[in-house]
Every structure is written in C-alpha cells, then in structure tokens.
Amino acid sequence: MKLFDLTGKTALITGSSMGIGSALARGLADAGARVVLNARDAARLNKAADTLRQTGAQVDTLPFDVTDAKAVRTAVDDYEATRPIDILINNAGMQHRGPLEEFEVEAFDRLMRTNVNSAFYVGQAVGRHMIGRGAGRIINIASVQTALARPGIAPYTASKGAIANLTKGMATDWAKHGLNCNAIAPGYFDTPLNAALVADDTFSTWLEKRTPAGRWGKVEELVGAAIFLSAPASSFVNGQTIFVDGGITASL
C-alpha cells in the first residue's frame, strides 16, 4: 500500500547496531527505505550492516557519538552532502539503576546526555536539512517510563519524560516547515538493555501479571508504529507519543 511505502526514502536510526534500533532498521528496510545505521562501535556497526545487507536491504553506516554535538553535526552534514535523510529515528539510549538518594551525579549527567541531549543534537542537525527541503519525519524513542515510574530509575524516568516534551516542542516549531515529529514509547521489551530484568524470574512474573497482554514485548512489534510514523499514512499526526506497551499504561 502506498500509504505505508517507504521506497526511495532514507532513514537514519541512531543506536541501531542491536536491540530496538536494529529491529526498526530491518523493518524500515523491508518497507523499502535505505537505512543508515549508527553506533559508536564501528566493528559492531559494520557487522550489523553486513547482516542486514544479506536480506537485500540498502544499508549505509554512519559511526559517530550521539553525545558529541560537533561530531553529530559533522557526520550528518557530510552524509547530507551525498544523500538527503528523510527519516530520523532517535533511538540511542541507556539505563542506569540505583537508589535516587545515592545516584551519582556523573551517572545522572551521562544518562541525560545519552537519552536527551542526543535527541536534541541529532534532531537539530538533521532537522535543519529537512526544514530546507520542506519535509521530514522525526521519531523519538520514549518509554513506558514517559508516563510511569518504578523504584531505582528516577533519572531514566526524567529523561524519557523529557523526550515526550521535546517531541511536542519539535512538532510545535517544525510542523510549519513540513516536518512530522512524533515519539514511540515502548513498554517492557526483551532487549539487551533489559537483559537483567528478563533474567529475573521474580520481575518477569510480576510483569506478566501487570501487563494486560501477559508477556514481554518482542522488538519486531515496534516496527508497525515506526513505519506508520515514517510513511504518508501519518501525514497529519504530529507531536504525539504512541505507547506500544501491551496495555500496561491503560491498566491499574
């Protein structure tokens, strides 16, 4: 269907050498997009790209540190000199758990740089080019913690709340230039970031009871929302955060 066809589009996905970013890259490639993988680890990035190319996907790599504003601008501008980036998915992120009263300042700063600053840096660098063309799609990866909190992750919760409001701000400033800026908020998914929780039988049992769907999410289940927000089907959707969480935010 043309409403969901990404043929001819180029999508940059940050933090896409594994986990959710890798799954979204595969999904957008299957929908016809050329995907640009990003990570700091060049070796892991190239391995991920080679694996994706074996499926017939069009894949480029763009290694840079999303927390380094200058490196971000240089990498994006250099790539844009050869090919326009039509879709940006700000996926790079990290988690750090600990009691709030003991949470180290350095850990808080690192988490905010990775989860919030990076979305601003990359979003601004790509957005400037999109504004010049009068079109573009930006998708920020939020979290179930955008709406809910759990013990031991207050700074992470703050960072993902910021992502939702940054998304609203992007839409408010840039919709007039033809950009659609939205967010996807995953619930609890089986990813490397959540490996410790997946391995915790007590937590998994609690999660299965707490989530109406009764299970962990699979990363492939985020692809549909990403394609929708990247494609013509969502042409009048702006500033929204779509929760893909098995119903956890809808139920007490």
**Structure confidence by residue, pLDDT tens digits, 116-147:** 999 999 999 999 999 999 999 999 999 999 99
Residue 182 scores a pLDDT above 90: yes
103: Cβ contacts below 8 Å, ≥ 6 apart: 96, 154, 155
Give the chain's domain count. Answer: 1
Instruction: Give the residue, 23 or 192, on which the prediction is more confident.
Output: 23
Q: Is 188 marked active-site?
A: no
Tell me the CB-side half-sphere exposure of residue 224, using CA atoms within 13 A: 5
Phi and psi (nearest 5°) for 68?
A: -110, 100
Structure confidence at residue 77 (pLDDT): 98
Structure confidence at residue 196 (pLDDT): 87
- What is the CATH classification number for the domain harbouring 169? 3.40.50.720
Per-residue pLDDT band for 165 (boundaries 50, 70, 90) equals: very high
Decide if 252 is inside a domain: no
Decide if 251 is inside a domain: no
Decide if 197 is inside a domain: yes
Per-residue pLDDT band for 192 (boundaries 50, 70, 90) equals: confident
Residue 176 scores a pLDDT above 90: yes
The mean-pLDDT minimum among 78-82, 192-196, 226-230, 238-242 falls in: 192-196
**Average pLDDT of 71-100?**
97
Instruction: List the domain range (segments joined by +) for residue 37.
Output: 2-245
Decide if 250 is inside a domain: no
Roughly what angle, to the nearest 10 degrees, separates helices 154-174 and 105-112? Answer: 30
Structure confidence at residue 34 (pLDDT): 98
Tell me the CB-side half-sphere exposure of residue 151, using CA atoms within 13 A: 2
Structure confidence at residue 184 (pLDDT): 98
**Average pLDDT of 3-13?**
98
Residue 193 scores a pLDDT above 90: no
Decide if 237 is inside a domain: yes
Give the CA radius of gyration of the chain: 17
Q: What is the mean pLDDT of the chain?
A: 97
**Structure confidence by residue, pLDDT tens digits, 97-108:** 999 999 999 999
